[in-house]
Structures are given as C-alpha cells and as structure tokens.
Amino acid sequence: MRMDINCDMGESFGAFRMGNDYEILDYVTSINVACGFHAGDPMIMRQTVKRAIEKGVKIGAHPGYPDLQGFGRRNMDFTPEEIYNMIIYQVGALRGFVDVEKTELHHVKPHGALYNQSANDSAKAQAVIDAVYDLNPKLKLYCLAGSLIAKLAREKGLTVFEEAFSDRNYNEDGTLVSRSNEQALITNEDEMFEHVKGILLSNEVRTIQKKVIKINAQTLCIHGDGAHALQFARRISELDGFLFD
C-alpha cells in the first residue's frame, strides 16, 4: 500500500523551541500545524507554512484544547458547541497564513486530548466533523484508524485519512495506550521500524496485550515533539516505496 507520512509541527512558542521541524520536512508528505491553543504562535505558524511550501509538503491544521501548560494532552470537558467554535477559530487562523502564501489547506487533524476524546464520543466527534465540513467540505479529516469519528465523517461526506502512529503503542480495542502508561511510547528505533513495517506490509499492529489487530490506515504519524522524531523519520524514509504520491 501507499502511505502518507504526517508530522505534528509548529509547536514552538515564543522563545521556547521544540522539535526539528525544518529537517523533518525532508522526510514527510504532510504536516499538522499547531494553531496557538496547545502550542504555536503567529510567527511560528507563518514560518512553518512557508517552509512546508518550500519543501512541497501538504499543510494541515492541528487544533487542540486551550491548554498550553499541558500541551493539549489533558482531558477537558467542553460542550460540542465550544469544540465546534474552537476548531473554527484555530483553523481559520492558520488558513489566513495559508491564503497569504497563495496555497491551500489540505486537512484538519485534531490534537492530543481533543483527538482522543472525539475519536469514539459521538457528540464530540460530530462537533469536530461539522466544524471541518462547514469550513470547507473539501478538507480532509485525519483521525484515528477504526474510530467512530472516521465512520461519521464519511457519512457526512468528508474525505477521511485514517491514521496510524509510528511511535505509539496500541490497546487491543485499537485505541492508543494512555501517555500515563509507561508503555505508551515507542522509543527504540528498531522496535519502531518493525511496528511501522507491520502497518505498511500487513495492516496490523501488536498491542501491549500481545494481541495482533488489524489497522487500515492511509496516513502514518510521527510526533514532531518526540525525542527521536528526526531519527525515526529518516529510518521510515527507507521504506519510501510505500510513500503516498
């Protein structure tokens, strides 16, 4: 199968710098740009957009909860209306920079806790879907492979890229292992490579419960804030025969 390789980027903020964004752009086909709520700021957003254009990489918005201290990874209790409005606000901000640079926004991928909470909660999922659709029904939605939100988004008429993760472990129900669990992250390069090969070659992953489950994905994520992100991106590029055109 062919696979889009995406990476979360633009997550620096003010004087705080995170990740190896510019270097990783050589190894991915799409990026998810932080929109200021969980990370990022106007300077970083525009710089990231310009660099992605320079490298010919597709640009997506990465809206999250308003949680700078928790990097958007803490569960928060927002109503569907609040979720809808915060997505409109954040994607609209990034789209302004995209428009100024005379290019197009390719997709929207919720970040962190918003991504996980909306994956299988019908009310939160519908809020995300409606926001993306109302902004532009041609936008793609990146979401967890096998999730309820993927099903509902297709029913709405959105193009969905179901997502697998190169650097995260899975539970047997197809959800990601919580970051509070010491087994959540894959940090060993060889382990990551075998994990990714399973996704690409067999559409499957081995869960922390030692069960092999099927996973049907069209995009593979590398977390840009991960300690081994650039190293992992380079290694995954060795499988470039599987990259999405």
Q: What is the CATH number of the domain that holds 223?
A: 3.20.20.370
- Specify which residues 162 forms β-bridges with: 143
Say if pTM beats, i.e. exceeds, 0.75: yes
- Tell me, what's the pLDDT at 241? 56
* Digit-coded pLDDT (tens) for 5-45: 999 999 877 767 766 778 899 999 999 999 999 999 999 99
* Digit-coded pLDDT (tens) for 113-147: 999 999 999 999 999 999 999 999 999 999 999 99
- Specify which residues 61 forms β-bridges with: 33, 108
- Tell me, what's the pLDDT at 12? 78
- Residue 185 structural domain: 4-242
Please say if the pLDDT value at position 3 is more than 60: yes
Domains in the chain, number: 1
Please say if the pLDDT value at position 240 is more than 70: no
- Tell me, what's the pLDDT at 11? 86
Q: What mean pLDDT comes out for the span 215-237?
A: 88
- Tell me, what's the pLDDT at 224? 76
- Tell me, what's the pLDDT at 198? 93
Please say if the pLDDT value at position 98 is more than 50: yes
- Tell me, what's the pLDDT at 15? 65
Compute φ and ψ for 206, nearest 5 degrees: -100, 125
- Tell me, what's the pLDDT at 245? 45
Residue 53 parent element (H or E): helix 42-55
Whether the CB-CB separation of 142 and 107 falls below 8 Å is answered with: yes
Across the chain, mean pLDDT equals: 92
Q: How far apart are CA 144 and CA 119, in angstroms?
A: 6
Whether the CB-CB separation of 44 and 52 falls below 8 Å is answered with: no
* CA torsion through residues 147, 177, 113, 107, sign: negative
Please say if the pLDDT value at position 205 is more than 50: yes
Which residues, other chains included, contact 31 with Cβ-Cβ below 8 Å and sequence gap of 6+?
Answer: 6, 7, 8, 9, 10, 25, 48, 52, 57, 58, 59, 60
